[in-house]
A and B are shown apart, each in its own frame.
Chain A
Amino acid sequence: MSHINPNFAKELERYGAKDFNLCFNCGNCTAICSLSTKDNSFPREMIRFSALGLEDDIKSSLKPWMCYYCGECSTDCPRQAHPGELMMSLRRWLTAKYDWTGLSGLLYKHLSAYIIGFLLVIVGLIVFAAKLDWNQEKIMHFGHLFEMFAIAGVFAIILLPNIFRMWLYTIVRPKVKATVKVYYKAFSELLVHMFTQKRFLECEKLQETQIKWFEHFILVIGYLSLLFTTVFLDWFGSENMFIIALGYVESAIIFVVTFLFILKRAKKTEALHKFSQPSDWFFVIWLFLMGITAFLVRLFIDIGILQNNFWLYLVHISVLVQWAIIIVPFGKWTHFLYRSFAMCFARILELNDMKK
């Protein structure tokens, strides 16, 4: 039994939803959406759920993740109810719901929580560096170790349980009974979408979409491979010319692409950039800072001035730590996982339906 909750709109506004109650249910958004299908139609259904405050229905839905925010629904909405922005805020809200720690919700709703978190990281780092007597080698060694442990720790403690909760809400509680074979079949969907985001290419306005997809695609590839290069190939410590060059290219891709993203968000010309939340800003800016500081650190090493300019490494490591323990587990980074898993879960539902 569903309960109507009129206060849900206020809750969603704190996640960035704008004016969605202006909707008069014409269905234009659903019909203009290139990704919406007969069996999986959105966003109007989600607007209806949100207006009525049917939290359980939203929590069990994968539809917010099916949307790639091309913005056509918002551009064409006759009421200017910004359906695309509602889908975006539902993704933020779902991220908060999946998160067992509750910190995601706190960060989305309070900008101050972000700032306190960032400051705490800086203070912690200063204390830690002081304990190591500001020994540069030791700090860099621990920096390298941190990357490995942070990845493993964040994944095991935060992300894995959160994906489990997502699975619980969308598959287990709606009583979807899927065989192992179905899971196995759907798993390929996860990898394909995680590494190619190919569904994004199905958005309308072909050429623009292709450019946008390409920017996003090389950013993802650049980010993942830089992670690999620094953690497993020890980019900062390596003397292999190929590894060094690889790291340069990857970090350059990251800061160039994210710089473009920041510009677009500032210009607000496209529907999807009209309403940026702090979480959106932090995501692109921190990614940009990571790319550029990593690039400069390696450059300083190569021209032999890092020792005299060790502050640069400290900046880099604080950006990295803030990224790894705040933005990755609780911020926008998680869309990388949730969206891919949503595709996988959606495939499970689809395969199950086909069986029936």
Chain B
Amino acid sequence: MSIDKTKYDALVVGGGIAGQEAALSLADMDYKVLLVEKDLSIGGKMIHLSKVFPTLDCAACITTPKMSETARHPNINLLLNTNILEIEKDNGIFSIALTIRPKYVKEDLCTGCQLCEWVCPVIVDDGFNNNMVGRKAISIAFNLANPKVAAIDMNHCIKCKKCEIACVPKAIDYSMQPQNISIETKTVIISTGFNLFKPENKPQYGYGKYPNVIDAMQMDRLIAPTRPYNSVVRPGDGKIPDKIAYVLCTGSRDTSIENAIGCSVDCANNPICSQICCMYSIKQAQLLMGALPLADITIYYMDIRAFGKGYEEFYQQAKGMGVSFIKGKIAKITQKDHNSGDLILRYEDVTTGTLKEAKHDLVVLSVGVLPNNEIAKVFTNQKLELDDQRFIKQVDELLSPSLTSIEGVFVAGTAAGPKDIPDSILSAGSAASEAASYINNI
């Protein structure tokens, strides 16, 4: 290809839906873009999802075309498994130091045939499926990964060389080393997305202690078209659940987290609304009513925030389908009977002011959105400011929402705060056009 591999018009950090959108918009305007992703595939959080609200479109079906387009665009260069070490701004040009972590598989040779996976004897947790199932130590990140290239998990590899023998194009290379490169770019778009709240940081809910308390991402995997099992089963004993509870605002609108576990940065109090949990829980509830027609589903909420286009109708539709909505924050979850694995949820029904305990056989914690702001640390001679909630600060939030505290650095998607998918894409478009006009005016 005709791309000079050290000079670009734009660097996009993060290959989730916002990063892909921003990269594609700029590339379509004929700017040269480098898209850097820390994982083995682009796709971000969206590729994990079952369906999207409020249309119930299959998430994989609508995001994979975009992933392919991004991976194949002549103006976009992809760097996967790559970390950014340093970003320095001199005379309006950003100098960026990167390190590409070794995959131990030569990308240009690997055909994605998966023969290596067949022969690998080591089974490791499948992170893509929230560790609910296993995969091999050498494998493609997940079956819709793009680029479809295998990588070895060196922490678990026993170097038996079976994959090396099996690999027809001879792509396996155990001797690969981290590769440091530096590039220059005129502008940077931050689309690093968000972290999900770790539910073990709310010990009152017993996540990690009781097997039948799961988080919503696990449930999304259980009902996705690419799901690990062919049914919705609870982790404790594989039973098909018939009384499922959703606990909204787990780790959102909650400033008591630090009181309970005394941690500071990565599990800090989160006073704000995560904006997506009500809707994804309603989405899952509707999908579950289809998957498990006999199951009762109860959503425990503080407030239902159905603010987007078609969202209120979607909420009313769930009610109409028979999902129960109960106003009251779950205070604690206990598993009184170890044999049944059922859980007792204690709450106050706020509409009547009565204290209640409810029994459910599966509890889904609707975890909130926390900032993913590590990128702020790599700016050496400029300061990328964070806002009160430690998301990337939008310096002109109302009129130019993609501007950051550094001229030439723009923010797209949930790196700037909780957003749903349509809003993330809108925000990425805005960041791309701001970046384009910035490049033109240099």
Contacts and interface: CB of A to CB of B under 8 A. Distances in A.
Given A26-B328, A30-B348, A75 B259 contact: yes
B254 A31 contact: no
A78 B253 contact: yes
Interface stretch (B65-73, B77-85, B185-193, B349-357): B349-357
B383 interface: no
Contacts of A26: 249, 302, 328-329, 350
A27 B329 contact: yes
B302 A31 contact: no
B381 to A, nearest CB: 38
B255 A78 contact: yes
Interface string A240-265: 00000000000000000000000000
A44 B351 CA distance: 12
Contacts of A78: 249, 253-256, 329
Contacts of B329: 26-28, 31, 78
B256 A37 contact: no
Interface in B239-255: 249, 253-255
B442 interface: no
Contacts of B332: 31-32
B177 interface: no
A334 interface: no
Contact of B355 (A25, A36, A76): A36
Contacts of B349: 27
Given A27-B329, A31-B348, A41 B256 contact: no
A37 B353 contact: no
A180 B164 CA distance: 91
B204 interface: yes
Contacts of B354: 38, 41
B260 interface: yes
B253 A27 contact: no
Nearest to A71: B259
What class of interface size applies to chain B in its complex with A?
20 to 34
Nearest to B204: A76
A30 B356 CA distance: 10
A44 B352 CA distance: 12
Nearest to A45: B353
A41 B350 CA distance: 11
Contacts of A41: 348, 353-355
Interface in A51-81: 75-80
* Of listed B259, B260, B329, B354, residue having the most chain A CB within 10 A: B329
Nearest to A27: B348
A41 B346 CA distance: 13
Nearest to A26: B329
Nearest to B270: A78
Contacts of B328: 26-27, 31
B280 interface: no
Interface in A1-59: 24-32, 36-38, 41, 44-45
A26 B353 CA distance: 10
Nearest to B350: A27
Nearest to B257: A78
B260 A76 contact: yes
Given A31-B332, A77-B256, A79-B255, A37 B355 contact: yes
Contacts of A32: 204, 331-332, 346
A296 B442 CA distance: 85
B105 to A, nearest CB: 46
B284 to A, nearest CB: 22
B94 interface: no
B255 to A, nearest CB: 5
A25 B348 CA distance: 10
29 contacts: A24-B253, A26-B249, A26-B328, A26-B350, A27-B331, A27-B348, A27-B349, A28-B329, A30-B348, A31-B329, A31-B331, A31-B332, A31-B346, A31-B347, A31-B348, A32-B332, A36-B355, A37-B355, A38-B354, A41-B348, A44-B348, A45-B353, A75-B256, A77-B256, A78-B253, A78-B254, A78-B256, A78-B329, A79-B255
Interface of A: 24-32, 36-38, 41, 44-45, 75-80
Interface of B: 204, 249, 253-256, 259-260, 302, 328-332, 346-350, 353-356
